[in-house]
Structure 1
């Protein structure tokens, strides 16, 4: 269990890689482009992280369609990897989406709107463009400036050589327990853990219910069929400067509704699931920050980043199998076809 918590804290730290990357590459300049433009750019840049994490949260809930008998239970640990598609490694810079920022050729000054730029999951920007901020604009601190500034395009993290799928690992530890009427309650819970400047917590619950019992004649058929509903949410915080009240917060939640079918064959159980996910994520940088206003002075910006991510959920289809070992131990693996195709592996103790 200690190792699982350690891994979860690693995930919390990973959620801040984008901020660290932008700190090293013109984070201040992005903020100074105006509050609205900064959030638009950062949303495009960070969207693959939110999508991978959110879709990973929606996985690993089950390895059979058969609910536990009353007071039967399992304790299961899983890791899900929702692969970031190649198409999400870049995003199209559309000048019309911004009020005061444009992508221009560094030499000629010509607009390069429509060019593809790296996201967090991409590599180094190799084009000839720079981001140019111009015109009268109000910064997040309420200060109005009117000037022209140029700064480099933020690179991605350059993980193309990373072995395996490029994904945010999502570990989960959950308890499933049979209650009544062939219904199983599943709980995911991690109490708030604080290590140095990082905190992490998780809560989720799911319900699996046998639907064959309600359909005349179907309970005689040689397979299990259940409906499943699950909700999972994580929150991680990183204190940039605790004395000044500066911190970054990332939250992500996933709701999933599925129909599950499985067939037990001695120690081997193949299973499949069909349904959809709803994924919601947000990233906020909170507190007061002092930046150069571009005119030789300084400006204090309050809560400079507030981003809500959407659009990474949708229909899903899962296929997998569970292998029982020594009667109560089990291994399982499955693959989910969705916008962020997801691989899940797990290990559990099962008492039916």
Structure 2
């Protein structure tokens, strides 16, 4: 669990911890303007947010057939929403910035969180008041490097674990609960909550009840919150929230111990990263600046249509292994192991 939480909180470490090697670039971006800093960091962190959000949307089902009343399953899934190679860079769009421009670069592409190093430079420009006098200024800084994650062998993904309990209630309906109580590891804390409903709608369509397959609809909502305490005494902390709403139509067919299944639907993914508290940059210099809550970024655009295909295999009387693959903006592999009592 400690390793998983550390991976999920990696973006917070890299940006919130101002003791890192990227501290100077980060402080300079903050000084250019809070709006410019938030715009830049939104593009820089987007692969992490999108991968985690799409991972949350997976693992809700491994069959279209709901449980009988009071039947249940307890399933542990690990979801890997693969970050595409194209996400290692983002385009710097000059019109989105007020006091920041790109210089000394052959194109407008800069590394994201997952990308590599860059020789590109940014220039902060504007006016500044010192001792009652207003001065125009220009300051060149190196564009922040990525962490070289895209150079690692194999697909790159943020692992997203889910633990869920599904219980059959009435009218061929499952109620699904995901819950992780708050877990604290050093300066990190992690918690999650999710709720879903799966319902057999074939029973309501005349004639379809006799067809030899199961057909259900699912709606699920999942949210996680990861917090990193920067300085507890100063009440400085960073927080990453991600939520995913999934709407699916599911079809499956049980063949002895093997159940293939497929799903078609849509994801709605929302993520937010914020740094809270009061911060002082360039302390003790004429350029000292006090900033409250310097970062508040809402990520969007990671959701959309999705198609899933997979299979569940009974490996013992009540144990089942499931594997599926979802085609979406960030294609996702899910692997799960569950205890099933029909």
- The bucket for the TM-score relative to the shorter chain is over 0.9
Q: Of 316, 323, 334, which aligns to 2:324?
A: 334
Question: How much has 1:50 moved relative to structure 2?
Answer: 0.5
2:116 to 119, 123, 129: 123
Aligned length: 335
Within a 5 Å distance, the mapping from 1:200-279 to structure 2 comes to 200-279=190-269
In structure 2, the partner of 1:13 is: 9
The reply to whether residue 31 of structure 1 matches residue 30 of structure 2 is yes
Q: How does 1:136-147 map to 2 (within 5 A)?
A: 136=127, 146-147=136-137
Classify the secondary structure of the residue corresponding to 2:310. strand
Given the superposition, is the C-alpha separation of residues 42 and 137 from structure 1 closer, same or farther in structure 2, using an over 3 Å criterion? farther
Unaligned runs of 5+ in 2: none
Structure 1 Cα separation of the partners of residues 287 and 198 of structure 2: 60
- RMSD (CA atoms): 1.9
Distance (Å, rounded) in 2 between the aligned partners of 1:163 and 1:267 = 35
Cα offset, 1:27, TM superposition: 1.2
Distance 2:8 2:264 in 1: 30
Report the CA distance between 1:294 and its aligned residue.
Answer: 11
Contact persistence 1:226–1:261 (CA under 8 A)? yes
TM-score by length of structure 2 reads 0.94
In the superposition, relative to structure 1, how do residues 21 and 155 fare at CA in structure 2: closer, same or farther (>3 Å)? farther
CA distance, structure 2, for counterparts of residue 264 and residue 324 of structure 1:
11
Counterparts in 2 of 1:245 and 1:113: CA distance versus 1, 3 Å: farther
Structure 2 residue aligned with 1:132, among 115, 119, 123?
A: 123
Alpha-carbon distance change, 241 to 255 in structure 1, aligned in 2, over 3 angstroms: same
Q: How much does 1:286 deviate?
A: 0.7
Q: Aligned with 1:122: secondary structure?
A: coil
> Structure 1 stretches of 5 or more lacking a match?
106-111, 139-143
TM-aligned CA distance change 1:211 to 1:117, over 3 Å = same
Partner residue, 1:100: 99
| Residues 77 and 36 (structure 1), Cα distance of their counterparts in 2 relative to 1, 3 Å cut | same
What is the CA-CA distance between 1:120 and the residue it aligns to? 0.5
Q: SS where residue 190 of structure 2 aligns? A: strand
TM-score by length of 1: 0.91
- Partners of 1:276 and 1:145 in 2: how far apart? 52
